[in-house]
Structure 1
């Protein structure tokens, strides 16, 4: 069986997939969310959540998991505690979830319609990843798909204070790339992410969920 990076390399070069349509504009940088946008990782993250929560007999149904897409891990744990009358420690659950996710990395694939734009525009415009996940998680996901070297800047959960839909993370990425917000194009898969891009004054491309591709 080929390694995860070898398989991803084959997917990345051999099957970029159908291209998502882009809005008109003079775009000088592409900014990508990671989970569910570059990496088809949402089903894997759901598995990791269920593995982490099982220690406390707590469940996160699939429909609720997707409805809460883009929310910080800590907020999800707090809301689950309130819903189920539990007292799960946020830091412990977050660590359990991250550890479980790492074990599922070989299952990851790229989102084809986004991968096509990465392949076509690489070296033509600078790229940033703007994610609500930790740098550890983002780096592991992109490395598993042999895509980490495509990105000039990573903006991860540790790098900003206010989560999406606040525009802070996207404005930070634009500053780091030295590109005005109005010339940045954002790729996002959640309502919170699209709202953050809009609040930052950036155009966006909505990436459909797995069941609509």
Structure 2
């Protein structure tokens, strides 16, 4: 049963905040393929273990650090746009994460939902639209909307403020270590969403 996969923690929660990639959308493998195809054009590498360990980081931070680590000078705007183009081309193949979709369906209309993502608004909107879930979320907090990325709590605190719910009354759905750390720093309960190979 899906609810066995993702049991809710104890508590009366007044809002649910969701990461997007790897949490709502089973998109991490597609994101990795888009990165690999893009970076190959520049002679850069992004091994799968590093990709998943950096889950939750912004595209700008990833490109900046890959440049530094691999002695490259990839133009951030060009690489980011190309990666987004390739990712969006894969959207028809992406599905929702098992277990999370059931919670969205079960609680929609009962508690307000928000998305807090390190991805761009363009990417988040495209992903949610592809799954016909865009109308479920009252608030989108994306990479452009906060200065300090996860594990800083700023994104989650912004989501709670926009929904008008105290942080301690929010439940976070997250699939990355950085995202879980951000939720904990915000004083929020969380559900850890299993990675694809853990399901």
1:83: how far off? 2.2
Alignment RMSD (CA, Å): 0.9
Helix, strand or coil for the counterpart of 1:56? coil
Per-residue Cα deviation, 1:8-54 (whole angstroms, up to 9, x for no partner): xxxxxxxxx61211110110100000000000000000011011111
1:84 shift after superposition: 1.8
3-state SS of 1:31 partner: strand
1:174 maps to which residue? 160
Normalization by structure 2: what TM-score?
A: 0.97
Match of 1:140 in 2: 126
Structure 1 residues 1-213: aligned runs within 5 Å? 18-19=2-3, 20-213=6-199
Q: Give unmatched runs, 5+ long, in structure 1.
A: 1-16
Q: TM-score with structure 1 length normalisation?
A: 0.90
Q: Unaligned regions of 5+ residues in structure 2, if any?
A: none
Tell me how far apart the structure 2 counterparts of residues 28 and 193 of structure 1 sit (CA, whole Å): 20
Distance in 1 of aligned mates of 2:154 and 2:69: 30
Shift of 1:86: 1.0
CA deviations over 1:89-124 (Å, ceiling 9, x no partner)? 111111111111111111100001101100000000
